[in-house]
Chain A
Amino acid sequence: MKRKILLAASLAVALVLGMSIVPAGAYFTDTTETNGGVDVTITPSTDIHEWVTQGVKHVVISNDADATSAVYVRAGVFTSVEVDISHDGWTGPSNEASWVGPTDLGWFYYDQILQPGESTDSELIVDTLLRKKAEQKPEEGVNFNVIVMYEATPVLYDADGNPYADWTLTQNEKPAEGGN
């Protein structure tokens, strides 16, 4: 059975999810079956932004306005020090507020699909607990790194029009889940 793959959110999906309706011309649905796989011209175009206030990182992922697909995003935190991660709007690897690294690549998945031009309206907040660390009277010059990274993958749709993500999908490969 040929598999149809719809890349980028369709208008119907947007309505179901309650998202703002984006003019169809801003993105397109591709049903190509190049070599039975995914068209390489449909690619995410995203970026990560942050601002830091008193050691608290506020992280936002954005899908470029001229992107050609909606995306799922997920984020990870790498650090060897204790941090508090607030992730309302994200589903994390743990329901606990504190996160003591290092992470075993536990991902925080943003609960919503990002359409082109949209950003995660719920920040991933990483509090590096600087005050608590200062109370330990560190040596002059002591340093530590906190890394927040993200991944984005195009939204895929199964035969019933349900969106899903395949984080292992490669170009020229049939999606592993959701299609039939």
Chain B
Amino acid sequence: MQIMTKRIGAIMLAACMLAVLAFGGAMAWAETSQAGNNSLTVQLSGAAYNDQSVTVDITASDVEYDLYQIASGEKDPRFDTWNYTWDITAFASLKDQADVADSASDWQDVADAAAALVEQNSIPADKQGTGGTAIKELNNGLFLVIPHETLSDKYRYTFVPSIVALPTKEPIEGADPEVVKRDGYDVNYPVIGTAVEYGAWKNEATIYLKFEVVPRYGSLIINKNIQSIAGTMANWKKASFHYHIVSTADSPFEYDNWASVTVTGEGDFQGPPIRHIQAGTIVKVTEVYEGADFTAVGSTESDAVTIIADNEDGTMPQNVAQVYFTNTSDKKIIEGSGIQNEFTWQDGDWQLAATPESGQINEPTA
């Protein structure tokens, strides 16, 4: 299924601004008004928001991100709030949209618009960071965080851009249990509430990235060696072998499919790759049908193999999972072969792939 990107932003700014407006009091702002006194640390939230069943297999340190200052900040002399000036040319066009933003959804839209400007105008990042490690000496203002898509062996992690205000406020412990904690982690949700729920301004900010996760897929190749066709019938043309591919009991993912390899002589053959198997799946392959006129040499069951994710360009990696089977003629007066059809769900319909052909991969030895 297509993973629908949810627009869940985590922005402290809206909450902070609304909260301090409700409070309406002046606060000392001494050292928090100094430029270059802030730091930002990016962490991961606990689970994918689109699939809670996934066991997250990356850590914050695997995530790289780009950081942009999009507006300057100055402490308001009367109220416990910060005023932002859209004086950074590349992002000045966001002012009108930001001025009326008063919810998490609104600020996510601003973040998305800012990220679009980055892409359209190829704006270089002010700084680049790695999750879990603080970026220091940041000015006061609004910052755009664009995390990079991150790959593990099994999954693709994608993130939405976020806007964070520095300095920042966070809900105090116990102010609202549902807000303070999410998935066991403190989250930078835009809490809309009163100022009493928040602590002081903090120069050290931590945001927790929400992420979407989708599986990666890999391939399997079945190799067939024909030791001899001696004794096959005079008009022998080809033979097909049929395999049952099943995930093992300890596989993290289930899989069950069939595949054929057709041979036309002695030597080594490869069946067409079996594609779109979830990376990390552990499978065994059983040669259920040994081909008319042939018998197995050795085992008809492969060792367990783990599916490796395909390369980003769709090609198979060098260490693609492969299994091997060997057969020789058994001189039966039987002729036969088969046809394999592959049905793939694409663009809302089942597509029938052209019957794939097996290929001979080397010349038989004399």
A170 in contact with B333 (CB, 8 Å): yes
B336 in contact with A140 (CB, 8 Å): no
Interface residue from A55, A59, A128, A145 paired with B257 (Cβ < 8 Å): A145
Interface-forming stretch among B110-118, B176-184, B344-352?
B344-352
Decide yes or no whether B327 CB sits under 8 A from chain A: no
A169 in contact with B242 (CB, 8 Å): no
B343 in contact with A102 (CB, 8 Å): no
- Contacts A140-B345, A144-B257 given; does A170 touch B244 at CB 8 Å: no
Provide the B241-272 mask, 1 if CB < 8 A to any CB of A, else 0. 01010000000000011111000000000000
Of chain B, the residue at the smallest CB distance from A45 is B235
Interface-forming stretch among A15-23, A36-44, A85-93?
A36-44
A149 in contact with B233 (CB, 8 Å): no
B335 in contact with A46 (CB, 8 Å): yes
A78 in contact with B244 (CB, 8 Å): yes
Give the residues in chain A near B330, CB-CB below 8 Å. 170
- Contacts A140-B2, A146-B341, A149-B337 given; does A170 touch B233 at CB 8 Å: no
A78 in contact with B334 (CB, 8 Å): no
Determine the distance from Cα of A56 to Cα of B234 in the docked complex, in whole angstroms: 34
Question: Do most interface residues of chain B lie in helix, strand or loop, or is the interface mixed?
Answer: strand
What total count of A-B pairs have CB within 8 Å? 145
Interface centre among B2, B340, B343 (most CB of A within 10 A): B343
Interface residue from B257, B334, B338, B345 paired with A153 (Cβ < 8 Å): B334
CB neighbors of B among A121-144 (8 A): 128, 130, 133-134, 137-144
B341 in contact with A57 (CB, 8 Å): yes
A140 in contact with B338 (CB, 8 Å): no
Interface residue from B240, B259, B350 paired with A149 (Cβ < 8 Å): B240
B331 in contact with A171 (CB, 8 Å): yes
A152 in contact with B336 (CB, 8 Å): yes
Decide yes or no whether B49 CB sits under 8 A from chain A: no
- Contacts A40-B233, A52-B352, A80-B257 given; does A140 touch B1 at CB 8 Å: yes
Decide yes or no whether B276 CB sits under 8 A from chain A: yes
Decide yes or no whether B7 CB sits under 8 A from chain A: no
Interface residue from B1, B337, B344, B346 paired with A150 (Cβ < 8 Å): B337
Shortest distance from the beta carbon of A74 to any chain B beta carbon, whole Å: 9
Provide the B314-333 mask, 1 if CB < 8 A to any CB of A, else 0. 00000000000000001111
Determine the distance from Cα of A169 to Cα of B338 in the docked complex, in whole angstroms: 21
A138 in contact with B289 (CB, 8 Å): no
Decide yes or no whether B217 CB sits under 8 A from chain A: yes
Interface residue from A38, A101, A145 paired with B340 (Cβ < 8 Å): A145
Decide yes or no whether A50 CB sits under 8 A from chain B: yes
B244 in contact with A149 (CB, 8 Å): no
B332 in contact with A169 (CB, 8 Å): yes
Shortest distance from the beta carbon of A65 to any chain B beta carbon, whole Å: 13
B289 in contact with A149 (CB, 8 Å): yes
Shortest distance from the beta carbon of B275 to any chain A beta carbon, whole Å: 7
Give the residues in chain A near B235, CB-CB below 8 Å. 43, 45
Decide yes or no whether A147 CB sits under 8 A from chain B: yes
Interface residue from A55, A80, A105, A134 paired with B289 (Cβ < 8 Å): A105
B2 in contact with A152 (CB, 8 Å): no
Shortest distance from the beta carbon of A93 to any chain B beta carbon, whole Å: 15
Decide yes or no whether A168 CB sits under 8 A from chain B: yes
Give the residues in chain B near A152, CB-CB below 8 Å. 334-336
Interface centre among A41, A59, A71, A141 (most CB of B within 10 A): A141
Give the residues in chain B near A105, CB-CB below 8 Å. 288-289
Determine the distance from Cα of A48 to Cα of B242 in the docked complex, in whole angstroms: 16
Shortest distance from the beta carbon of B285 to any chain A beta carbon, whole Å: 13
Decide yes or no whether B364 CB sits under 8 A from chain A: no
B289 in contact with A76 (CB, 8 Å): yes
Interface residue from B1, B349, B353 paired with A139 (Cβ < 8 Å): B1
- Contacts A43-B234, A102-B244 given; does A147 touch B333 at CB 8 Å: no
Residue pairs across A and B with Cβ atoms less than 8 A apart, 21 shown, are: A38-B333, A40-B234, A43-B234, A43-B236, A44-B333, A52-B352, A55-B343, A78-B338, A80-B256, A138-B1, A138-B345, A142-B345, A143-B257, A143-B353, A145-B260, A145-B342, A147-B259, A149-B336, A150-B338, A170-B332, A172-B331
Pairs A-B, 8 closest by C-beta atoms: A149-B338, A43-B233, A151-B336, A44-B335, A143-B344, A80-B256, A138-B345, A78-B258
